[in-house]
Amino acid sequence: MITGEIYQSKIEKLTNLGLGLARIDGMVVFVDNACPEDIVKIKITKVNKNFANAKIEEILEPSPHRIKPFCPMQKICGSCQIQFIDYDYQLELKKDIVKETIQTIANLEMDIPKTIPSPDIKNYRHKIQYPVSQTKNSKRLLAGYYKPASHEIVNIKYCPIQPKICDDIIEFIREASQKYNITAYDEKKHQGELRHVLIRHSNYNQKCLITLVINNNTVSDIIKEFSHAIFNKFNEISGVCVNFNQKRSNIILGEQTECIVGDEFILEKICSKVFKIASETFFQVNPKSAENIFDYIKNFIKTNYKTPTILDAYSGISTIGICLSDIAKSVVTIEENKKSVKLAKESLKVNNIDNIEIHSGDAQEYFKNEKREFDIIILDPPRKGCTPDSLNYALKLCKGHIIYVSCNPATLARDLKYLKENNCNIQSIQPFDMFCHTYHIENVAIIKV
């Protein structure tokens, strides 16, 4: 097999990275923008030792599940990798990916139920993070997502997976940046001021929190004026903040944020509870799908326990713990992000909750030093999952069930394998569609200790 050669093949399945899988003379070939059951001509773009990459030259016979994407930018924007597949089939494919991942990595043969759909499949994304750049001649600001496998920005004027107000705000920022002589960050030269624009949008009251990430450690008068102009333009904006990030890295946010005008948070409502969310705190991008997850967890606990004690680890702003507080005897939450801890404590006051302890610190260290046992431990770690030590400590503290919430099937499978080897019973795994039209999958695993 040689780069540049063209072959005809049928796409067998979708991989966990959203690529179609074909085989040429027994060799696995990963194909961009391919749907299972497509019959295609593909052009080899790269040959590796054990696999190759390819792109579609011609669709000879489209899959019955292939549809026209509702966004005209789908192919060149790296955000919605599988929007060309009908939604019901997306849910089936995600279920299959979870099943295969769990079987391959954890050696677990399990019936995986159909992925629970998102209540909204358009305008569902309530957190937007746009990198920015600048044209060479006109110096106009570009803002959008990166093209796949590149750092070339697609200038997004309209994105149907986010609320329209976000498009309007970004367009105003593009236009006003010239008036205020705002320069965009050049990552190669490490020059220019504005690196990213972040928007948090509330599904609860439709308010927006804007955060300008700048390549500086102080706020200039121009940035202050620019922030006020953005704030004054839209009634929907609750506040404009500036985050300082001078690092040569792909990390979006720096460690310090300053509120320039308005509030430093927005309010969101889930499971009849109100939460304060800041720019640098974790919160699910799809609030309605998140509510489905929390209701699922709550229903399991109500069915199997009466006023349990609960430990909510990697808790962010204590969203899960707060949602479960009305069916629990007591809840303890642990989170290392200090701003999240601060906002979680404020949310307790907003919701008049008095049975939650909120702790700041590393989850593993907290597990190590905690002496109390809990009926239920909620684990909701980042994509990298849990360490073996964290899982060991959690097992010692848990006398009932571990409920593991994961956005990465591979690390979930790895951790479930470890728990299984330590005599746990993996009772169920339920996929949820948090990120419609992408290959990402959220899962909730119920584990009996």
User: For 92-119+286-448, which CATH class?
Assistant: alpha beta
* Rg, the chain, Cα only: 23
What is the pLDDT confidence band of residue 398, given thresholds at 50, 70 and 90?
Answer: very high
Identical fold, 1-66 and 127-270 = yes
pLDDT above 70 coverage of the chain, percent: 100
Number of helical (H) and strand (E) elements in the chain, helices listed first = 9, 22
Architecture of domain 1-66: Beta Barrel (2.40)
For the cut 90, the answer to whether the pLDDT of residue 187 exceeds it is: no
* Rounded-to-integer distance, Cα 168 and Cα 217, Å: 28
Q: Where are the alpha helices (DSSP H) in 81-141?
A: 87-106
Backbone angles phi, psi at 235, to 5 degrees: -65, -25
Q: Output the pTM of the full model.
A: 0.93
Q: Which residues pair with 144 in a beta bridge?
A: 155
* Tokens representing residue 147 in the block: 């093209």
Report the SS3 class of residue 88.
helix
What is the pLDDT confidence band of residue 422, given thresholds at 50, 70 and 90?
Answer: very high
> Do residues 135 and 183 make contact, with C-beta atoms less than 8 angstroms apart?
no
For the cut 80, the answer to whether the pLDDT of residue 149 exceeds it is: no
DSSP state, residue 130: E
Region of poorest pLDDT, from 85-99, 115-129, 139-153, 356-370: 139-153
Backbone angles phi, psi at 330, to 5 degrees: -155, 155
166: CB partners within 8 A, 6+ apart: 128, 159, 199, 201, 208
* Rounded-to-integer distance, Cα 449 and Cα 231, Å: 51
Report the SS3 class of residue 442.
strand
* Rounded-to-integer distance, Cα 249 and Cα 245, Å: 9
For the cut 90, the answer to whether the pLDDT of residue 110 exceeds it is: yes
Identify the pLDDT of residue 62.
97
198: CB partners within 8 A, 6+ apart: 127, 128, 129, 130, 210, 211, 212, 213, 243, 252, 253, 279
Range with the largest mean pLDDT of 83-87, 139-143, 281-285: 83-87
DSSP state, residue 428: E
Q: Which candidate, 199, 268, 284, 274, places its Cα nearest to that of 237?
A: 199
* Rounded-to-integer distance, Cα 309 and Cα 3, Å: 59
Backbone angles phi, psi at 239, to 5 degrees: -175, 160
> Do residues 197 and 141 make contact, with C-beta atoms less than 8 angstroms apart?
no
Identify the pLDDT of residue 1.
84
Identify the pLDDT of residue 75.
85
75 vs 259, more confident: 259
DSSP state, residue 281: S
Beta strands 208-214 and 237-244 are parallel
pLDDT per residue over 354-385, tens digit each? 999 999 999 999 999 999 999 999 999 999 99
What is the pLDDT confidence band of residue 34, given thresholds at 50, 70 and 90?
Answer: very high
Identify the pLDDT of residue 77.
87
* Rounded-to-integer distance, Cα 188 and Cα 163, Å: 32
Residue type (1 letter), 98: V
Q: What is the CATH number of domain 127-270?
A: 2.40.50.1070
Query: What does the domain layout of the chain look like in residue ranges?
Result: 1-66, 92-119+286-448, 127-270
Run of H or E residues at 170 = helix 164-179
For the cut 80, the answer to whether the pLDDT of residue 410 exceeds it is: yes
Q: Which candidate, 11, 20, 12, places its Cα nearest to that of 439?
A: 20
**What mean pLDDT, rounded, does the chain reach?**
95
State CA 54 to chain mean position distance.
27
Give strand ranges (E) for 159-308. 194-201, 208-214, 237-244, 256-262, 266-270, 273-277
Q: Give whole-number Cα distances, 245 to 142, 255, 263, 361, in Å.
A: 19, 7, 21, 23
Q: Catalytic residue numbers?
A: 407
Report the SS3 class of residue 418.
helix
